[in-house]
Structure 1
Amino acid sequence: MRLLRVGPRGQERPAALDDAGLLRELSSVADEVDAGFLADPVALSAVRHALGSGTLPEVAAGTRVGPPIARPGKVVGIGLNYRDHAVEAGLALPAEPVVFLKPASGITGPYDDIELPPGSVATDHEVELGVVLGRRLRHCADPAAALAAVAGYVAADDVTERDLLAAGPTWTRGKCCDTFTPLGPWLVTADEVPDPQGLTLELWINGELRQSGSTKTMAFGVAELLCAVSALMTLEPGDVVLTGTPGGVAAGRPEPKPYLRPGDVVELEVAGLGRQRNEVVAP
């Protein structure tokens, strides 16, 4: 299934795309696309049945699409997980995953604006595969069990302010700003993504292709990442794990580095997970 949330910010309601590509309201069969829903196989089955019936009302044209999951408990980021990105950063591939946290307050919709923080001169883009948990995962050492805990996958942009990140002492300063985690448009359930290591990722700025990669070149694959993160913290249903970005970010390009500026349009796509379009705006 391809699950969405539609409506004004803070008033989103659940929706899904049917087999014909029509956007259908789910409010009659689901209260939200959240942790409780994703962890409930009965609720998921009910939505599948309702979608197949063809009786759900269509979402009105022009309705805003919000983030596809409501209120995730945490967003876990992974750094330097692609060789070409490590090379452009002038760093060696890590011996184990680099883990950081992003606040859920930074999540925004797939077509919402990206707002630069005050004084920003080095805000950068990072197209990523996002993994959404559907089961609790703690101290998992079995890759198959880790993948079985996945509810679905989303396209994501791990927007980063490089100067704030470099100022330290942790990466959080450069990752935590409002609107710095566009997600969606869809949460695609795991049964429709049989191999998360076979997805292409692309990102364009003002129509120019800047990033192009494949999840097959990750240093640590999805299952390995989930095992590693679950050894550090318990992953709960609804949590999001961002799995790193391929090369091509602005920070890795020659001077003057093409960081994001007001008026830029960021578009990205992860194969099978839909396409985002975000305009960059001033604070």
Structure 2
Amino acid sequence: MSMPAMRTVYGTLLNFRGEFDAWAPKMNEAPYKAPPKAPVLYIKPANTWSADGAAITLPANVPQVEVGATIGMVMKGGSEVAGYVLMNDLSVPHASFFRPPVKFKCIDGFLGIGSRLRARNEAGDPSVFKLEVRINGELKQTVRFADLVRPADRLLADVGEFMTMAAGDVLMLGCDVGRPLARAGDTISISMPALGTLTNTLIAEAP
């Protein structure tokens, strides 16, 4: 299935049980003083998008990045999903997920996007999806989407309570804890049989 023109890419925080539990002790602290009741979203704008196979440049002041292997739901419009695509939501390591700083998550090139869109009716149940993350060929992480706080359909329904998803919008399901770190010179591969492999190589910024 060919990839439609993308419109806006939304990331989802705290949607893996491990990540949610890791931050739970701080959720009752200021400023929020309670766990979030709705999905916590952020945007990966067009300047961050990198195609499968593209080199991604690390700024000179960024020695390493977190690899955020995830799956994006690509929308037909409203609550209808066209299909699923692999994504690598790169981020500079930082200490808080309550207000994700733009400067850490929205650097040029910091979202790898797979070239294969698998139609929803062909991909099966997202709760059984499993991704493997390799850096330079070595397995570093396995991401199981059975561990989501909000499974795909519920996440989409809950987001629909406060915003409308248009055709070409993409909603990422979230990133698990244990995200591996990568540096300039590393090649990152994220794979799942139904969705193929997303590969990007990190390169250092030219002096």
TM-score (norm 1): 0.63
Tell me the residue number matched to 1:185.
Answer: 115
1:82 to 3, 8, 16: 16
Q: 1:220 to 1:167 in 2, by over 3 A?
A: closer
1:104 to 46, 54, 77: 46
1:198 to 118, 128, 150: 128
Tell me the residue number matched to 1:73.
Answer: 7
1:268 aligned to 2:190? yes
Greater helix percent: which structure?
A: 1
For residue 247 of structure 1, report the CA deviation from its aligned partner: 2.9
**Using the alignment, how far apart are the partners of 2:178 and 2:73 within structure 1?**
22
Assess if the C-alpha contact under 8 Å between 1:206 and 1:264 holds in 2: yes
Kindly provide the CA deviation profile for residues 56-104 of structure 1, in whole angstroms up to 9, marking residues without a partner as x. Answer: xxxxxxxxxxxxxx3x2211100121122345xx312855422111102
Kindly provide the CA deviation profile for residues 221-272 of structure 1, in whole angstroms up to 9, marking residues without a partner as x. Answer: 111111222223221000011111223213xxxxxxxx32111111111341
1:150 aligned to 2:92? no
Tell me the residue number matched to 1:242.
Answer: 172
Assess if the C-alpha contact under 8 Å between 2:74 and 2:82 holds in 1: yes
User: Which aligned runs of 4 or more in structure 1 are off by greater than 6 angstroms?
Assistant: none
**Using the alignment, how far apart are the partners of 1:275 and 1:235 within structure 2?**
26
Q: 1:169 to 1:96 in 2, by over 3 A?
A: closer
Q: Determine which structure has more spread, i.e. the larger CA radius of gyration.
A: 1
Unmatched segments (≥5 aa) in structure 1: 4-32, 35-69, 138-145, 251-258
Kindly tell me the number of residue pairs found equivalent between the two proteins: 195
Greater strand percent: which structure?
A: 2
Unmatched segments (≥5 aa) in structure 2: 25-34
How do residues 220-231 of structure 1 correspond to structure 2 at under 5 angstroms?
A: 220-231=150-161
Q: 1:276 to 1:78 in 2, by over 3 A?
A: same
Identity of aligned residues (%): 30
TM-score (norm 2): 0.85
Assess if the C-alpha contact under 8 Å between 2:13 and 2:39 holds in 1: yes
Kindly provide the CA deviation profile for residues 5-58 of structure 1, in whole angstroms up to 9, marking residues without a partner as x. Answer: xxxxxxxxxxxxxxxxxxxxxxxxxxxx53xxxxxxxxxxxxxxxxxxxxxxxx
Assess if the C-alpha contact under 8 Å between 1:212 and 1:247 holds in 2: no
Matched residue of 2:150: which SS?
Answer: coil
Tell me the residue number matched to 2:28.
Answer: none
Tell me the residue number matched to 1:134.
Answer: 76
- Select the structure with the greater relative contact order (CA < 8 A; seq sep ≥ 6): 2
1:91 to 23, 41, 56: 23
**Using the alignment, how far apart are the partners of 1:199 and 1:243 within structure 2?**
11
Q: Which amino acid aligns with 2:23?
A: L
Matched residue of 1:204: which SS?
Answer: strand
**Using the alignment, how far apart are the partners of 1:104 and 1:79 within structure 2?**
19
Q: Which amino acid aligns with 1:204?
A: R
For residue 134 of structure 1, report the CA deviation from its aligned partner: 0.5
Aligned CA RMSD, in angstroms, stands at 2.2
Tell me the residue number matched to 2:92.
Answer: 161
